[in-house]
A and B are shown apart, each in its own frame.
Chain A
């Protein structure tokens, strides 16, 4: 098969009737949402953020108002976590926005896609791992300094004079393996979600440069 000989057949395809693409059909298509991978990732991110907002706000108010405000430190923790997630989603959203430039040359679009997707997964892994020590340290601080003020704690201390959770060494011993385990779990999950996609894009890029 010689490509030269096929040019004429290929060009004949232009004279064939193409499926109906009248104004109304295109107009209808313009009303539809993108079903591309990046657009779906953005929609999922917005859904996750809404879920965080809907679940965190009542919890923050609950601990702020209930128990005469003695457990307001938990509200503080939830508030900080909420802020952390807002920053997390903002960064992810910006990366997704930068991820594609469909009107750029194919090679530069692919390079940009791969680079931003790698940044996106690195940030996902870092944030998903750091949230564990952050939550644990804050929780320890609440238990260590805020719990003594809680009602009925004297009775608890009488039953258990030296509870393990007051010792920071136990927390460190628990925290280290937990953080490492979460790191590997996140790495596995992120690779499952995006690994194949990144590999395929890198292969395409390599092929273009060869």
Chain B
């Protein structure tokens, strides 16, 4: 934050520089919470607007990425508008458009497909937890972002892992499918 404000004395320039540095986080949040390109674009725009509004009050008490996660997740979770299209498990266009063009090995692509399928079936809070876990955030950082105690987070993470295992079994063996 300090480096950005030294390099870019103009507030907007500094903001744009920081957002560009952390744009990967924003795109991941959009991918996790939205499954169509228009929805992703809408959410991305809304997150940028909210970040810009809150930027003057950012004092650097927390890490910039923690602050960014809070705003991105708050915007994604409390935005309860109907999405353009709810995907189903068998949707072939499940992977976000930019990921569809990447050549993965068969196994990796399958795993990525499974990951997105599974994430789609999680609740909004579980999605946030899963994403932070995959991002290798510590429980302390998760607590700072979500406001859930670390003990509760551990319990929830175990539940999510079980849920994901169960989902994989269902997807692989067709157990429990309607």
Contacts and interface: CB of A to CB of B under 8 A. Distances in A.
A197 interface: yes
Contact of A36 (B24, B28, B79, B133): B79
A175 B74 CA distance: 45
Given A1-B164, A6-B115, A204 B77 contact: yes
A204 B74 contact: no
Contacts of B164: 1, 3
A35 B49 CA distance: 9
A106 B147 contact: yes
B112 A9 contact: yes
Contact of A106 (B26, B98, B115, B146): B146
Contacts of A5: 111
Contact of B75 (A17, A102, A209): A102
Contacts of B57: 103
B145 interface: yes
Contact of B74 (A14, A102, A209): A102
B87 interface: no
A35 B45 contact: yes
B147 A108 contact: yes
A104 B67 CA distance: 8
A116 to B, nearest CB: 12
A29 B24 CA distance: 17
Contacts of B130: 3
Contacts of A23: 13, 16, 20
A109 interface: yes
A21 B23 contact: yes
Interface string A115-159: 000000000000000000000000000000000000000000000
A102 B165 contact: no
B12 A27 contact: yes
A208 B115 contact: no
A56 B23 CA distance: 49
Nearest to A34: B49
Contacts of A197: 80
Contact of B146 (A11, A103, A105): A105
Interface in A1-39: 1-3, 5-7, 9-11, 13-14, 16-19, 21-23, 26-27, 29-30, 32-37
Interface string A39-51: 0000000000000
A84 to B, nearest CB: 31
A113 interface: yes
Contacts of B115: 1, 6, 9-10
B134 A6 contact: yes
Given A1-B165, A13-B28, A104 B123 contact: no
B151 to A, nearest CB: 13
Nearest to A33: B49
Nearest to B160: A3
A3 to B, nearest CB: 6
Contact of A7 (B19, B134, B167): B134
B161 A3 contact: yes
A184 to B, nearest CB: 26
